[in-house]
Amino acid sequence: MADRVIAGRAIVAGNAEGDALVTSDALSFWGGYDFHTGEIIDRRHPLAGVRAAGRILAVPFSKGSSSTTAVLVEAVRAGTAPAAILTTGVDAFFALASIVADVMYGKPFPVIALEPVDFASLRSGEQLRIELSGVIRRI
């Protein structure tokens, strides 16, 4: 059985709670995320058509366009961003989006890096709570 507590590393610290949306495939938010709806639109991605707004999105890393950050900041402004993003390594794109969302709108979102084994234990639909320390609790 999966551990109830996962020790994540807070790349951008923050609190969040929500249901997990998990993929092992990298994602470009530009061309991959509609910030008007909060839906993943990359037709080549397994989560195509799924709404990620308000959910805790676990995606190993960003790929593709440099504009991934800009799309994420637009989503924060529009209220359609994921509640948090969990990754397998330090992803500068997601971190920057959160930092700029903080600077511009006072609305950062947690970005947490996980060990690959912990990332692999995540399942879509499970309820997660992210704490300031980077600890993630299954609730």
Partner 1 sequence: MLQLSDDDRAMLNGDRGPAPRLAMSILVRMADVYGAAELMDISQAHIDSTIYLGDATLDFAERLAALGARVAVPTSLNVSGVDECGWKDWAVPPDWAAKAARQMLAYEKMGAVPMWTCAPYQTHMRPAFGQQIAWGESNAIAFANSVIGARTERYPDLLDVCCAITGRVPAVGLHLTAQRAGQMLLRLAGVAPALQQDDQFFAVLGHLVGTLAGDQIPVIDGILVRPAEDRLKAFAAASASSGRVALFHMVGVTPEAPTLDAAFQGRAAPPAIEITTADLRAARRELTTADGQPLDMVILGSPHFSLAEFSLLAPLVAGRQVHPRVKFLVTSSRLMKARAEESGVLAPIVAFGAQITLDTCILASPMLPPEIKTLMTNSAKYAYYAPSLLNTRVTFGSLADCVRSAVEGRVVRDESLWRIA
- 132 touches partner 1 by CB under 8 A: no
With 0-12 / 13-18 / 19 or more C-beta atoms within 10 angstroms meaning exposed / middle / buried, residue 77 is: middle
Binder of partner 1 out of 2, 5, 7, 103 (CB under 8 A) = 103
Verify whether residue 65 is a known catalytic residue: yes
- Within 13-90, strands assigned E span 16-22, 33-34, 39-40, 56-58, 84-87
Phi, psi of 42 (to 5 degrees): -70, 110
Give the DSSP H/E element, type plus range, for residue 111. strand 111-113
Q: State the catalytic residue, choosing from 65, 67, 121, 124.
A: 65
**Interacting positions 68-87 with partner 1 (CB under 8 A):** 68-71, 73-74, 76-78
Of 50-58, 89-97, 114-122, 123-131, the window that binds partner 1 (rule: CB under 8 A) is: 89-97
Residues that bind partner 1 (CB under 8 A): 11-12, 26, 28, 31-32, 35, 41-44, 48, 60-71, 73-74, 76-78, 89-90, 92-93, 95-97, 99-100, 103-104
